[in-house]
Structure 1
Amino acid sequence: MEMKGEYKIPASREKVWDALNDADVLRECIPGAKSLEKISDTEMKATVEAKVGPVKAAFTGQVTLSNINPPNGYTITGESKGGVAGFAKGGADVSLVEDGPDATVLTYVAKAQVGGKLAQIGGRLVDATAKQMADQFFTAFAEKLGGGSAPAAEPAPATAPATGDIGQEAVAADVEKDPEVTAEAIEERLEVAAGRGVLGGPYVWGLLALLAVIVLIYIFR
């Protein structure tokens, strides 16, 4: 699984760097984040909560920074665990480039491995939903730093549908077509698909929480 994106933030590079290292700012902007704890200068733990249908669950993840070059960027690696719902682990290279005195372009290239129930859902749906959650984060992040415009990003890479993924791929296609779709709307569409039996049952209940942690692993400290 691979993601990449480019976002323009209406703030100076130093301000963006400081905000990416501020646990309070990240907690306020990450969808579903309930806590962010700084363990050391290079490590952080997160708890993300999600409710899908009747089930509400919390998932934990931990990330580590390396190749730190303030305010230019860093490499981030991490792992999240969601019990029977599955796990995610991977890393990303993040860079910040000035775009004038009051704007910064943030780019990232990330790779991750998913397992458990999450791996059964289908790569295209995972990519599309994680991409939407990243967009939601950066929209909130940009507004918090500069009250500016929504981020621009490269589209999530497409993955060929697998056998049995028809329901998942239909939801993914809807997500890709509608840039304004919310996490709640995705939940509803997944529940409808699950009700038809095309998603295989209750393992979808932990999907969005795990995706939120994946986004955390990819981009944030």
Structure 2
Amino acid sequence: MKLENQFTVNAPIETAWDTLTDLDAVAPLLPGAQLTGRDGDAYLGKMKVKVGPVTSEFSGRAALTETDRAAHRAVIEANGRDSRGAGNASATITARLVEDGAATRVTVDTDMRVVGKLAQFGSGVIAQVSEKMMNQFAASLEAKLAAGESATEPETAVPAEQGAPSGALVAAPEPVEEPEPLDLLGLAGPALVRRLLPLAAAVLAGVVAGLAIRFLRRHER
């Protein structure tokens, strides 16, 4: 599945580039996302997604695999898995920055692969939700840049200490506030709610069935 999104931020291209290529700085700007640590050059994180009464949590990792400052082009490889086994997704994300007067236009091309129940959303629904997510991200990025926050400010996740072996896991130095879950029904809008509700009902039924089975097993002992 291929997605294309564009947005513009009121910041010089070099400022926008420095921020967008700092995953520590931009990850918290994504709705529902939170960094949890590092594994070598990869960033570890999680995202909470709410569909009606059901909240799912995805854990995953992302890494910058290509950066070309002269061309203002970056490639991110990311993958994630639902903690309840509803499915998994992986993506190759290519971002390109172009000067637009005093502002910067950002084009994000995503090649996404979705497996499991997540695929039931369909490409049309995912594309529309992706666009609205990107709009929220762009607004948060705009606010961050307008506030003059530097990409080199204290980070949520810290790099490995000098002398630490390559690939060593590095956790965030202290607990951070849990983000609000990404509300898919609220984000999708009325036009898509009816298409999402059957999936939400199926997931809820699965959760209830799982809890019932655990309850019965405990009382059989």
Question: The TM-score by the shorter chain falls in which range?
Answer: 0.5 to 0.7
For 2:61, the equivalent position in structure 1 comes to 62
RMSD: 2.9
Tell me whether 62-71 or 113-122 shows the greater mean CA deviation.
62-71
For 1:88, the equivalent position in structure 2 comes to 89
Q: How does 1:24-173 map to 2 (within 5 A)?
A: 24-35=24-35, 37-40=37-40, 42-70=41-69, 72-82=72-82, 83-100=84-101, 102-146=102-146
For 1:10, the equivalent position in structure 2 comes to 10
CA distance in 2, matches of 1:69, 1:52: 38
Deviation, structure 1 residue 36: 5.0
Deviation, structure 1 residue 53: 3.7
Unpaired segments ≥5 residues, structure 1: 148-181, 206-221
CA distance in 2, matches of 1:89, 1:10: 30
CA distance in 1, matches of 2:85, 2:13: 40
Greater helix content: 1
Change (3 A) 1:188 1:93: closer
Is residue 19 from structure 1 mapped to residue 22 from structure 2 by the alignment? no
What amino acid sits opposite 2:132 in the alignment?
Answer: Q
Question: Rg larger in 1 or in 2?
Answer: 2
Give yes or no for contact 1:32–1:50 (8 Å, CA) kept in 2.
Answer: yes
| SS of residue paired to 2:31 | coil
Change (3 A) 1:51 1:120: closer
| SS of residue paired to 2:85 | helix
| SS of residue paired to 1:11 | coil
What amino acid sits opposite 2:56 in the alignment?
Answer: A
Structure 1 residue ranges, 4+ long, deviating more than 6 angstroms after superposition: none
Give yes or no for contact 1:36–1:47 (8 Å, CA) kept in 2.
Answer: yes
What amino acid sits opposite 2:81 in the alignment?
Answer: K
Greater strand content: 2
For 2:164, the equivalent position in structure 1 comes to none
Q: TM-score, normalised by structure 2?
A: 0.64
What amino acid sits opposite 2:65 in the alignment?
Answer: S
Render the CA deviation track for 1:152-198: whole Å, top value 9, x for unaligned.
xxxxxxxxxxxxxxxxxxxxxxxxxxxxxx74524785776666xx4
User: How many residues matched?
Assistant: 167
CA distance in 2, matches of 1:68, 1:35: 21
Deviation, structure 1 residue 123: 1.8
Deviation, structure 1 residue 202: 3.1
Deviation, structure 1 residue 69: 1.0
Change (3 A) 1:204 1:66: farther
Q: TM-score, normalised by structure 1?
A: 0.64
What amino acid sits opposite 2:137 in the alignment?
Answer: F
CA distance in 1, matches of 2:194, 2:146: 38
Unpaired segments ≥5 residues, structure 2: 148-182, 206-221
CA distance in 1, matches of 2:194, 2:116: 22
